[in-house]
Amino acid sequence: MPDPRAERLVRAALTGRLSRRQALDAGLRLGLATPVLTALVAATPAETQASRPMPVRTLNQGGTSGTLTVLIESASEDIDPHNSYGTVSQMTILGLYEMLLQYKGASIDEFAPMLADSWEASADGTSYTFRLAPGITFHDGTPCDAQAVKDSFGRFLLFEGGPVNVISRFVESPDQIVAVDPQTVRFDLGGPQPLFLAAMASSYGPYVVSPTAVAENSTDEDPYAHEFFVADAVGTGPYRLVENSLSEQIVLERFEEYHRGWEGNHFDRVVLRVVPENATRRQLLERGEADATTYTLTPEDVAALQGNPVVKVEVYGTTRCDWVIMNAPRLLTPGVRQGFSLAFPYGEVIDGVFQGLMKRSGPIASSVRGSDPDVFLYQTDLVAAKQRILEGGFQEGDRFQYLYASGSETDRAVAQLFQANVAEMGFELELEEVDGGSLETLVFGDVPAEERPHFIGGWEWWPDYNDPWNQLAPNFLEESIGSGGSNGGYWVNPRFEELMAEAAQYTDEAQLRALMTEAQAILTEQDPPCIYVGETQLYTILKNDIDGFVANPLYLEAYPFYAMSRAAT
């Protein structure tokens, strides 16, 4: 059966509603074969409605900062805020859309206004009421009122895209959302939910999109207009989307009617420039031809740039933890997985590969609620490691497979160091590189455990909001095996399941800490599903005249574009 999305793309291209580059980008997002893409671009008129110059908008140059250029490795194939879970997509989305509230500055416990100027919980914590700021307008000119907020969250819940669990954990139906009056919206949760505000400030999912744009672009096959929002955007954010190319750049231009106004010094445009080559990204920063990048260089590059007066290097803690997934069924016993945890070269990896841009931790970062400050951490001991592996049923000379993503020098170096330790114990560790997309497909997919490698390296995770259950559930619950979960090692522990069921509905902080202390003991010392490397120390390289950047440990690789500016010279 023909793909209706491809048919609509062809019609749009042939009738001049798409430029050749837009047709190419749309075809790439749909996964069209190369011959089809070539024919489509060739058939697209050279002069189209989309390629004709847009009227130049005169921007107030007095006191503005011009253009902010951020270097990225690749663009996002999906910027639908109710579906995407990617870091680059969130970087883009945070300039185009808004939540009702956001985390305040670098805090993961305090909140600041976004669409809502104020909010309050009921005395029993079962409902939350938000008062919208006045004069909010979507990029399509329609008003953003309480009904629009309700309709947008209705799309989020019913569409059931990637990050829906961020909110559906607390709100199961749009019927629980009430437009009290044009400026007031209430969420009725059915029970006390102390984490609701934290979830509503997540950078994954709870954005407000234009219901008018959804209605105008929906079809019978696509009632939520996902095909439109994959590459386009209609939000209330300070910037509107003017270009979105997978191969070149994403361009945001300031939205003149932004409800918080443009007084003071702000950027008129934000360009997310696609530069795949590490060396080129570094050169552009060194020459002052780009303004910022985050976590796209090597640790060696970061160390070298710290002495360059053209840039400033911001290094900061995050909520992200890195680990190596272990295939529980193929590694047979907890003792074997303990053995390989003992065999990992922690010191060489932390100090040598990451050069201090990693801090030892268990499965929960130290800043996240419920993290155990005394969590058990393995130290490298090859003698004890070998003994446990042999006791678990393996023999000297046995081979194990280790998979990691291509293109990452750090992941490759980690794999090779681990391979050397495994060889020293008398076993073989076969290394295999695959592209990042294939690795993610394997982890999230339904390939049986017996067809998966023994180890999957370079995996990382951070919570959607400040909550340990949200960090652990996608990776270690039995229900997270296959079907989109990231329990890629097929690990199951009955006691852990019980603890997580209690933690999902906790109401007392002391209770949560006790549950999570036991859960972390299982995940590390008793029955490890992973080898825990550490929590990431992220870095952002900024041109020395860029002000206003504040890193939040939950908004990874994101920028507060509206708050940023270029210092006067």
Measured distance CA(522)–CA(493) in Å, rounded: 8
pLDDT surpasses 60 at 19: no
pLDDT tens, residue by residue, 522-555: 999 999 999 999 999 999 999 999 999 999 999 9
Q: Return the closest-CA partner of residue 112 out of 102, 120, 121.
A: 102
Residue 424 and residue 527 share a domain: yes
What pTM did the predictor assign?
0.85
Domain boundary among 53, 72, 88: 53
Q: What is the CATH number of the domain that holds 419?
A: 3.10.105.10
Instruction: Give the Cβ contact number of residue 395 at 10 Å.
Output: 9
Query: Using an 8 Å Cβ cutoff, are 37 and 28 in contact?
Result: yes
3-state DSSP call for residue 156?
Answer: helix
Measured distance CA(39)–CA(356) in Å, rounded: 50
Measured distance CA(352)–CA(413) in Å, rounded: 9
Q: Return the closest-CA partner of residue 457 out of 511, 402, 418, 526.
A: 402
Domain boundary among 146, 172, 200: 200
Q: What is the CATH number of the domain that holds 135?
A: 3.90.76.10
Residue 241 lies in a domain: no
**Sign of the C-alpha dihedral computed for residues 133, 135, 139 and 142 taken in this order:** positive
pLDDT tens, residue by residue, 82-119: 999 888 899 999 999 999 999 999 999 999 999 999 99
CA dihedral 332, 333, 339, 342 (to 10 degrees): 110
Q: What is the predicted pLDDT for the residue at 563?
A: 97
Residue 130 and residue 32 share a domain: no
The b/e string for 500-526 (b: 16+ C-beta within 10 A; e otherwise) is beebeebeeeeebebbbbebbbbbbbe
Residue 486 and residue 413 share a domain: yes
Measured distance CA(534)–CA(362) in Å, rounded: 7
Q: Which helix (H) or strand (E) holds 253?
A: strand 249-254
pLDDT tens, residue by residue, 481-490: 987 789 999 9
| 416 Cβ contact list (under 8 Å, min separation 6) | 431
pLDDT surpasses 80 at 35: no
Parallel, antiparallel, or unpaired: how do β-strands 399-405 and 546-547 relate? Answer: unpaired
Q: What is the predicted pLDDT for the residue at 411?
A: 93
pLDDT surpasses 60 at 355: yes
Q: How many domains does the chain have?
A: 3
Residue 243 lies in a domain: no
Mean pLDDT of 128-140: 97
Residue 446 and residue 322 share a domain: yes
Query: Using an 8 Å Cβ cutoff, are 65 and 266 in contact?
Result: yes
Mean pLDDT of 10-29: 53
Give the whole-number percent of the chain exceeding pLDDT 70: 89
Q: What is the predicted pLDDT for the residue at 46?
A: 54
Residue 90 lies in a domain: no
Residue 432 and residue 359 share a domain: yes
Residue 530 and residue 444 share a domain: yes
pLDDT surpasses 60 at 464: yes
Mean pLDDT of 424-449: 92
Place 42 in a pLDDT band, splitting at 50, 70 and 90. low
Q: Return the closest-CA partner of residue 155 out of 77, 101, 234, 259.
A: 234
pLDDT surpasses 60 at 18: no
3-state DSSP call for residue 515?
Answer: helix
Residue 525 and residue 422 share a domain: yes
In terms of phi and psi (left: phi > 0; alpha: psi -120 to 50; beta: otherwise), the region of 377 is beta
Residue 459 and residue 322 share a domain: yes
Owning domain of residue 519: 317-536
Q: What is the predicted pLDDT for the residue at 25?
A: 57
Residue 299 lies in a domain: no
Q: Which helix (H) or strand (E) holds 204?
A: none
Q: What is the predicted pLDDT for the residue at 59?
A: 39
Place 38 in a pLDDT band, splitting at 50, 70 and 90. low
- Residue ranges of alpha helices (H) inside 402-507 are 409-424, 436-444, 468-476, 494-503
Q: In the chain, what is the straight-line distance between the N-terminal and C-terminal CA atoms, in Å?
A: 61
